[in-house]
Amino acid sequence: MSLITTAALALAPRRAPVHKRSRHRCRATEYYDDSPPCLLVCSSKECKRKGALKTYEMLSQSDQASCGMIKVTGVRCFSECADGPNVKVNPEGVVLNGIKTAEDVEAVIQRALDFQD
């Protein structure tokens, strides 16, 4: 391989890895004005121990989620698991920590809907 080719390869932009899982479609870069807010629930091992599955169930079984006003999905990690369970509100992009109770869940839903208005 010539020196020019090696230098060109070093300067070439790297492509992001393609993930085979396509169920996580709620990203801030893919948000459109007419789409509902998306609540991303951390599903890492540490957040699961702290109650993330219960948080996910409460969010997904809420009236707003069942009528399509918000989307709820699980994601890998936000690197804040010490304060979990964590929920990220998109398109706002803020990560809320320690969402465990029904009052916390209602506050998250209200924040997502208020940001949309």
Pairing outcome for strands 38-42 and 71-75 = parallel
d(CA 12, CA 15): 9
Dist CA 108 CA 106 (whole Å): 5
Query: The sheet that has 87-90: what strands, in order across it?
Result: 71-75, 38-42, 87-90, 94-96
Residue 42 near residue 78 (C-beta atoms within 8 A)? yes
Which pTM value belongs to this model?
0.68
Any idea what DSSP says for residue 82? Answer: G
pLDDT score, position 53: 92
Backbone angles phi, psi at 57, to 5 degrees: -65, -45
What does the DSSP 8-state code read for residue 102? H
CB of 70 closer than 8 Å to CB of 58: no
Give me the tens of pLDDT residue by residue for the chain, a chain 117 residues long. Answer: 444 444 444 444 444 444 444 444 555 444 455 678 889 999 888 888 999 999 999 999 988 887 888 899 999 888 888 887 999 998 888 899 999 999 999 999 998 888 876
